[in-house]
Amino acid sequence: MPTEAYLLLGAGLFALGAAGVVTRTSALSVLIAVELMLNAVNLTFVAAARRYAQVDGGVIAFFVIAVAAAEVAVGLGIIIDLARRKTSVDVDDAADLRG
Partner 1 sequence: MTPEQAIFAIAGPICLVAGFSAVRQREPLSAALSLTVTLVSLAVLFLGLDAPFLAFVQIAVYAGAIMVLLIFVIMLLGVSHVDMPTLQRPSLGLAGPLIALALFAVLAAAILRGSLPAASADPLPEDHVNAIADLLFGRYTFAFEAASVLLLAALVAAVVVARKRSTAREWPGR
- Closest contact distance (angstroms) between CB of 3 and partner 1 is 6
Report the C-alpha gap between 31 and 2 in whole angstroms: 31
Q: Closest CB to partner 1 among 87 and 99?
A: 87
- Give the Å distances, CA to CA, from 79 to 34, 57, 66, 74: 14, 32, 20, 9
Site string for partner 1, 11-40 (x = CB under 8 A): xxxxxxxxxx-xxxxx-xx-xxx-xx--x-
Q: Is 94 in the site for partner 1 (CB under 8 A)?
A: no
Q: Closest CB to partner 1 among 95 and 99?
A: 95
Packing angle, helices 27-51 and 56-86, rounded to 10: 180
